[in-house]
Structure 1
Amino acid sequence: MKPSTPRTPGRPKRLEQQQPVRETILFIASKLFMELGYEAVSVQQIAKACDVTKASIYYYFDGKPQLFTAAVSAVLERARASTSQLLNQDLPLRERLIHVSEAKLSRSHGDFETIMREARPSLSPEQLDEITSKEEQLHECLAEHLTQAMEAGEIRRTDPLLTAHAFSAVLMLGIREIAKGTPADKLARDIVDLFWDGLSI
């Protein structure tokens, strides 16, 4: 009988499952970080939630800062893809912004700015740049559609990227209202109505 090939230390036993282990770790880690924050989540807690060993986490990620960076970057990339899909609907911009707002506010997560402020001391400049780059891609996606609406005369001309940042900031405030029990659909319309007054021609 041929001797079995030694397994690399820390290599996850679940590697052959349908969903790659790394993607499972990222998905669950992103949920925990976004719901509980950086400090409250440990690598051991993530490993337990993923049903893998702590060594399996370290097989893919050097440590908690790298895992956090990858997890948050994945969240932002999913948000960009979802936002792009909603903004590409054949609807007036105002209705599309309401759909984007409803999607954002209906997700269960903490205040992104608070989470980042908590994590920042533990992250390297390169890790912070990676997250910032993903966040900026999300703003650029929104700015692109704002520009199209400006060129079509649907809204007044402003700096589209600045306007995209302002819209995101208002949505961040909305997340705090969600925590108080305000329904997401009502709050989404209230936010867009407030924001729309500044864009109307």
Structure 2
Amino acid sequence: MKSNTPRMPGRPKRQDQDMPVQETVLFTASRLFMELGYEAVSLQQIAKACGVTKASIYYYFDGKPQLFTASVSAVLERARTSTSQILVQPLPLRERLIKVSEAKLARSHGDFETILREARSSLSQKQLDEITSKEEMIHDCLAEHLIKAMDAGEIRRTDPLLTAHAFSAVLMLGIREIAKGTPADKLARDIVDLFWDGLSIR
């Protein structure tokens, strides 16, 4: 029996779907933004890729800046979870860093710093702060395990948060090499080898 309750304008029709509309939009938007950048992606393009109307996107999100913020924050949250799961494994830090590098380099996406710089003028300070806080959670996770390795005498004492940022910066450079066709597994080891020379106890 059909419901007589009027549907709010723009609200997606309820259908039997593998994933709720809002999650589908977030997942698809994050993929497109990370692959193509901010300017190259339109809400109409995202709607078409999701198989919904543009009005359906506006039902959940105020506009492109909010959708970008939510989708990129979701990407960073997944990255933090993945990084944490790798770093708690009972392996030497060097091997765990290689696994973190492989996971990051294996993802098909553009240079995050370039994408964010492109979007910056369209985002509010609150939206920028939200993205930055999600990114910092990844650095905090890395720093936590660097401290443990320092306490165990596995690596020399450094500023753990600065070291985490430096490691992330080197990985960003690695993403550019991936775009040139360098295999992710080889590049991950090369990056960690280069980084490790600065951490080794002398």
TM over 0.5: yes
**Per-residue deviation at 1:36?**
0.1
Local SS of the residue matching 1:62: coil
**Per-residue deviation at 1:15?**
5.7
The 1:120–1:15 alpha-carbon spacing in structure 2 relative to 1, beyond 3 Å, is farther
Q: What is the distance in 2 between the residues matched to 1:184 and 1:159?
A: 28
Local SS of the residue matching 2:198: helix
Q: Are 2:67 and 1:78 equivalent residues in the alignment?
A: no
Q: Are 2:184 and 1:190 equivalent residues in the alignment?
A: no
Residues 121-160 of structure 1, C-alpha deviations (whole Å, 9 max, x = no match): 0000000000000000010000000000000000000000
Which amino acid is 1:99 matched to? K
Q: What is the distance in 2 between the residues matched to 1:70 and 1:2?
A: 33
**Per-residue deviation at 1:4?**
1.4
Q: Are 2:63 and 1:63 equivalent residues in the alignment?
A: yes
**1:150 counterpart residue number:** 150
The number of equivalent residue pairs is: 201
Which amino acid is 1:116 matched to? L
Q: Give unpaired runs (5+ residues) of structure 2.
A: none
**Per-residue deviation at 1:20?**
1.4
**Per-residue deviation at 1:17?**
2.7
**Per-residue deviation at 1:16?**
5.3
Q: What is the distance in 2 between the residues matched to 1:45 and 1:86?
A: 34
Which amino acid is 2:150 matched to? M
Which amino acid is 2:147 matched to? T
**1:107 counterpart residue number:** 107
Q: What is the distance in 2 between the residues matched to 1:161 and 1:132?
A: 15
Local SS of the residue matching 1:198: coil
Q: What is the distance in 2 between the residues matched to 1:69 and 1:8?
A: 24
Q: What is the distance in 1 between the residues matched to 2:3 and 2:195?
A: 67
The 1:199–1:12 alpha-carbon spacing in structure 2 relative to 1, beyond 3 Å, is same
Q: Give unpaired runs (5+ residues) of structure 1.
A: none
**1:130 counterpart residue number:** 130
Q: What is the distance in 2 between the residues matched to 1:2 and 1:93?
A: 59
Q: What is the distance in 2 between the residues matched to 1:109 and 1:17?
A: 27
The 1:133–1:15 alpha-carbon spacing in structure 2 relative to 1, beyond 3 Å, is farther
**1:119 counterpart residue number:** 119
Q: What is the distance in 1 between the residues matched to 2:104 and 2:170?
A: 11
Q: Please give the root-mean-square deviation of Cα atoms over the aligned residues, in Å.
A: 1.3
**1:47 counterpart residue number:** 47
Q: What is the distance in 2 between the residues matched to 1:2 and 1:113?
A: 49
TM-score scaled to structure 2, two decimals? 0.97
**Per-residue deviation at 1:18?**
3.6
Q: What is the distance in 2 between the residues matched to 1:98 and 1:147?
A: 18
Which amino acid is 2:75 matched to? V
Greater shift after overlay, 10-19 or 39-48?
Answer: 10-19
The 1:3–1:22 alpha-carbon spacing in structure 2 relative to 1, beyond 3 Å, is closer
TM-score scaled to structure 1, two decimals? 0.97
Asked if the contact 1:15/1:21 (under 8 Å) is kept, the reply is no
